[in-house]
Amino acid sequence: MTSTSSSPADALDRWYHYGTSSDGRRAVGRLYWDWYQRRGPGDDLLGDLTGRTVAELGAGAGHQAAYVAAELRARRVIAIDSSAAQHSRGRGLYEDVPGLDFVHGDAAAYLQDHPSSLDTAYSVFGALDFSDPRTVLPAAAVALRPGGTLVFSTLAHYRTGAPPETDCRPADIPTRLPDGSPGTMRRWVLEPAVWTKLLDEHGFDLVDSDAVHDPGADGESPVATGLFRARRRGRRAC
């Protein structure tokens, strides 16, 4: 396993506190795409990854990436995350997984710098939720080989129940900074027609899309997850 770092730990790391309640090795026995990690399709959305190069965009602590590397026979899995804290957690948890590389940096920047290097890219409430898709999608088109697959899950509506945006604009959502003080981060919660348009504009054909609805349990709020699978278009002849 290798690891690269593109920047020092950010004092304003908005993911510093995320996941600390479950720190420690956690086996993932199945790839889930939905908000509560318990419903819907699994790794079949990714197709056959045998011998392929895969990237997770916004991999967090690397749980899904470790599963993909260990169970799906990918040649290489690149777990990219901009959070120094999450990057460190991922390395601490899964540094022994063969074929799994952790990259600390901006997903779009990494993709742009590695043209035609990937067969598959995916995101589970990751970079496509928390970075401008008008930046991430064209970068993904650069990094994916023609015919390569992009799969991602995203909120189908706000956690408050408010409807998704009808244009490509983010909302500020609350978070905590490392010192415990309140902060905000931007999140893109978009209706399916907006995602479809963005994919088309940036070189992708939508293969299929769906929604996974979870009514919640034990006081949880109902949440709908949007699932999208797209294929990188080949270069058109002049």
Number of domains, the chain: 1
Q: Quote the domain boundaries for residue 47.
A: 3-7+30-232
Q: Would the pLDDT of 16 be above 70?
A: no
List, for residues 219-231, the tens digit of each pLDDT value.
Answer: 899 999 999 999 9
Task: Name the DSSP class of 21.
Answer: G
Report pLDDT for 10. 45
Question: Is 138 part of any domain?
Answer: yes
Tokens of 147: 């015919």
Report pLDDT for 132. 97
Question: Is 19 part of any domain?
Answer: no
Question: Is 176 part of any domain?
Answer: yes
List, for residues 152-173, the tens digit of each pLDDT value.
Answer: 999 999 999 999 999 999 999 7
CATH of the domain at 59: 3.40.50.150
Helix (H) or strand (E) holding 85: helix 84-94
Rounded to an integer, what is the distance from CA 210 to the centroid of its chain?
A: 17
Q: Which of 149, 131, 19, 145 is nearest to 72 (CA)?
A: 149
Question: Is 17 part of any domain?
Answer: no
Q: Would the pLDDT of 177 be above 50?
A: yes
Question: Is 24 part of any domain?
Answer: no
The 10 Å Cβ neighbour count of residue 169 is 12
- Determine the residue type at 103: V
What share of the chain in percent tops pLDDT 90?
Answer: 75
Top pLDDT among 238 and 117 is at 117
Q: Which of 120, 154, 170, 159 is nearest to 227 (CA)?
A: 154
Report pLDDT for 11. 47
Compute CA distances 37 → 1, 29, 164, 166, whole Å: 27, 11, 21, 26
Question: Is 205 part of any domain?
Answer: yes
Q: Would the pLDDT of 4 be above 80?
A: no
Q: Would the pLDDT of 91 be above 80?
A: yes
Question: Is 137 part of any domain?
Answer: yes
Question: Is 18 part of any domain?
Answer: no
Mean pLDDT of 16-43: 76
Mean pLDDT of 82-96: 90
